[in-house]
Amino acid sequence: EKSKSSFFSKLTKAVAGKSKVDDEVLDNLEEVLVSSDVGVDTTLKIIDRIEERVAKDKYLGTDELNKILREEIAGLLSETNSGEETEYTVPANKKPYVLMVVGVNGVGKTTTIGKLAYQFNKKGLKVVLGAADTFRAAAIDQLQVWADRVGVPIVKQNMGSDPASVAYDTLKSGVAQDADVIIIDTAGRLHNKVNLMKELTKVKKVMQKVIDDAPHDVLLVLDGSTGQNAFEQAKQFTAATEVTTLAVTKLDGTAKGGVVIGISDQFQIPVKYIGVGEGIEDLQVFNKYEFVDSFFKK
Amino acid sequence: MFNNLSEKLDKALHVLKGHGSITEVNVAETLKEVRRALLDADVNFKIAKDFTKRVKEKAIGQNVLTTLQPGQLMVKIVKDELTELMGGDAAGINLSGKPTIILMSGLQGSGKTTFSGKLANYLKNKKTKKPLLVACDVYRPAAIDQLHVVGDQINVEVYSDKGNNDPVAIAQAGIAHAKQHGHNVVIIDTAGRLAVDEAMMTEIANIHKAIEPQETLFVVDSMTGQDAVNTAKAFNDILNFDGVILTKLDGDTRGGAAISIKSVVNKPIKFIGTGEKMEAIDVFYPSRMADRILGMGDVVSLVERA
Ligand SMILES: Nc1nc2c(ncn2[C@@H]2O[C@H](COP(=O)(O)OP(=O)(O)OP(=O)(O)O)[C@@H](O)[C@H]2O)c(=O)[nH]1
Ligand SMILES: Nc1nc2c(ncn2[C@@H]2O[C@H](COP(=O)(O)OP(=O)(O)OP(=O)(O)O)[C@@H](O)[C@H]2O)c(=O)[nH]1
Ligand SMILES: [Mg+2]
Ligand SMILES: [Mg+2]
């Protein structure tokens, strides 16, 4: 909080009554943004916007400046991020609602699935999990532990079996059980591995044999401490699976996750969830203003 | 993407040719490109700033009249500086203990468990050691099972105690087991933890104190961004670790975190992880990493791998 207020007061002092923001302030702003992993391109974009606004609306006070900064940065987040959502919802007209979770290794896919299952289950929705990570050591056991914790059924096969076949079975079983939500876990994979990305496309396609428009949501999980590589992740996973939603994990640490601003801006994919711990309740619905504010906190 | 920076520098320095040597004024644009390349590669903001300052000092006064491509000259200066920053020789692992105790540490999902297996496999095959893996992650769902699967894959024994939730006691019991059964290396896998999690940091400090490892390794995901410095510093403050492991370098990240960490804790990067399989481990070469960070491709490694 201390560094937040000192940043804003410094910014205000240098900007108040001027029609141009001086270089020192912009340098400070640049440091805050780049250090939050916002990236050089997006940072320059934000700085341009601030300069424009300051040139237009002269004589700014702290509150206004604070507001402009938040607005301009939040404005880059995909428009579908209203910033006001607080609910874990699924559309009522899609039953079962199928969610496929993808991402590079170790970002928090399986954990996020456990937390989401808990949230949906708590709302009275019937959830079925599909263990389509058949590759990583003990990945199925890990999802099983989460399924037991939440108290929801899981569909699985042996390690090393075809992930597409697990996804298919899960959808069949979900339909038969009259499930509301089906969540498919997939193995972590680096986006530059062509064959593994093809496999993911196949997993997705196979689901359509059971439910035409499945998966209804492809959730890309990004580790909040990832730097600029997250851009390439978003790009390649979108190419392979048409990602519709982002989740950013591990924001309970010191990493800021700023790279999602540029990603959301460029790919128009909304950030929906943030992970803030390893516990079952440590998932929150993304709030863009709180997110932006966190850059200015120590 | 490869040679991108070198091209840009050539362009930026084109104007220099008529000037004979690099001066404060004419190098400014070039340094901006260097800084930009470093930031795009996730080198820490402050470190990138200091770094360009040092490069500037080295570059000023250098004669460019005789060089056909001034960009290449700058790339060389930048690359040499980067390589030096990341440490000269590939650092080995200290295997002097009886048994040698190796403690893994790092954030969640960085690759500790996988690397524990890779290292055990490497020591077994390349150094004819008899390693024991010890499962001290009592938190993550199925963490113990995961280490057992890994151990089975490489035919290395795994010590675990599912009923016990005290990692210090498990580590000690594991070491006792190793002594009894003639293992000469003990690799302790621990739970992932955030540097801001005081209880968990105290826990690993306690493990460290109780077992006095010859090697404490900090495992970090090479895709890490600006936060790498904070985390590395916090872990080093608590553990005074001996070396760094950079994982997931089989991806296309530039891996600027390597420089950030090295600058902040000044500990050698000992190994890299280049895949999910147990064989995907390699020693670290600073100059290849410098090429990679500058976007010049990890050509040498790729050639050797093929
Ligand atoms: N602190 C913190 N840790 C998290 C969070 N989300 C996940 N983790 C931890 O990160 C590690 C990796 O999580 P997983 O859910 O296994 O990640 P994954 O993407 O499924 O990994 P792979 O399947 O191996 O690719 C585990 O130790 C989790 O407990 C979070 O929001 N905060
Ligand atoms: N592509 C690739 N994947 C890796 C590498 N090292 C580890 N992984 C993967 O990264 C994910 C996380 O690895 P783990 O070994 O479980 O990481 P960890 O640090 O033990 O995780 P926690 O115990 O949850 O903190 C898994 O999917 C691994 O297969 C690597 O060098 N390359
Ligand atoms: Mg997983
Ligand atoms: Mg582990």
User: What pLDDT score does A172 carry?
Assistant: 98
Ligand 2 centroid to residue A229 C-alpha, Å: 17
Residue B127: is its pLDDT beyond 50? yes
**Exposed, middle or buried, B169 (CB in 10 Å: 0-12/13-18/19+)?**
middle
The preferred substitution site among B107, B108, B113 for testing ligand 2, maximizing ligand atoms within 8 Å of CB, is B113
**Residue matched to tokens 């997931």:** B248
User: What pLDDT score does B301 carry?
Assistant: 40
**Contact B226/A at CB under 8 A:** yes
Q: For the segment A205-226, what is each residue's pLDDT rounded down to a tens digit?
A: 999 999 999 999 999 999 999 9
User: Binning pLDDT at 50, 70 and 90, where does residue A2 land?
Assistant: very low
**Exposed, middle or buried, B154 (CB in 10 Å: 0-12/13-18/19+)?**
middle
User: What pLDDT score does A33 carry?
Assistant: 92
Sheet holding B215-221, edge to edge: B157-159, B131-136, B185-190, B100-106, B215-221, B243-247, B269-273, B281-283
User: Binning pLDDT at 50, 70 and 90, where does residue A57 land?
Assistant: confident
CB A154 within 8 A of CB A127: no
More confident residue, A14 or A162: A162
User: Binning pLDDT at 50, 70 and 90, where does residue A235 land?
Assistant: very high
Amino acid code (one letter) for B198: E
C-alpha distances in Å from residue A45, one per residue of A51, A207, A291, B138 = 10, 40, 18, 45
Q: For the segment B183-240, what is each residue's pLDDT rounded down to a tens digit?
A: 999 999 999 999 999 999 999 999 999 999 999 999 999 999 999 999 999 999 999 9
Q: How far is B4 from chain A (nearest CA, A)?
A: 17
| Helix runs in chain B, H state only | 4-14, 28-40, 45-59, 70-85, 112-126, 143-154, 167-180, 198-211, 228-239, 257-265, 286-293, 299-305
Which residues in chain B have Cβ-Cβ distances shorter than 8 Å to A105? 109, 111, 248, 276
Ligand 1 centroid to residue A109 C-alpha, Å: 6
User: Binning pLDDT at 50, 70 and 90, where does residue B56 land?
Assistant: confident
Helix axes B70-85, B257-265, angle to 10 degrees: 50
User: Binning pLDDT at 50, 70 and 90, where does residue A96 land?
Assistant: very high
More confident residue, A135 or B288: A135
The pair of structure tokens assigned to A284 is: 């929150």
Mean of per-residue pLDDT scores for chain A:
89
Q: For the segment A245-283, what is each residue's pLDDT rounded down to a tens digit?
A: 999 999 999 999 999 999 998 999 999 999 999 999 999
Mean pLDDT of the region B169-182: 98
| A-proximal residues of B, 121-140, CB under 8 Å | 139-140
CA–CA separation, A188 vs A292, rounded Å? 28
Mean pLDDT of the region A112-131: 97
User: What pLDDT score does A89 carry?
Assistant: 82
**Residue matched to tokens 């500790």:** B112
Least confident of A196-200, B25-29, B174-178: B25-29
* Mutant choice from A191, A229, A297 vs B, greatest count of B C-beta within 10 A: A229
Nearest residue to B219 via CA among B299, B284, B129:
B284
Question: CA-based angle A83:A86:A88, to the nearest 5?
Answer: 120
User: Binning pLDDT at 50, 70 and 90, where does residue B30 land?
Assistant: confident
Asked if residue B254 has its Cβ within 6 Å of ligand 2, the reply is no
CA–CA separation, A272 vs A54, rounded Å? 31
Which pTM was predicted?
0.94
User: What pLDDT score does B231 carry?
Assistant: 96
Mean of per-residue pLDDT scores for chain B:
88
Which distant-in-sequence residues (6+ apart) come within 8 Å of A198 by Cβ?
A240
The DSSP result for B160-198, as a single string, is: --TT---HHHHHHHHHHHHHHTT-SEEEEEE----TT-H
User: What pLDDT score does B247 carry?
Assistant: 98
- Strands B185-190 and B281-283, how do they pair? unpaired
CB contact under 8 A, B252 and A229: yes
Q: At CB < 8 Å, which residues of chain A contact B?
A: 31, 34-37, 39-40, 104-108, 114, 135-138, 141-142, 144-146, 149, 190-193, 223, 225-230, 232, 250, 252-256, 259, 278
Residue A55: is its pLDDT beyond 90? no
Residue A80: is its pLDDT beyond 70? no
**Contact B2/A at CB under 8 A:** no
Nearest residue to A83 via CA among A285, A255, A247, A267:
A285
More confident residue, A15 or A194: A194
User: What pLDDT score does B144 carry?
Assistant: 98
Residue A63: is its pLDDT beyond 80? no
Least confident of A30-44, B166-180, B227-241: A30-44
The DSSP result for B248-267, as a single string, is: -TTSS---THHHHHHHHH--
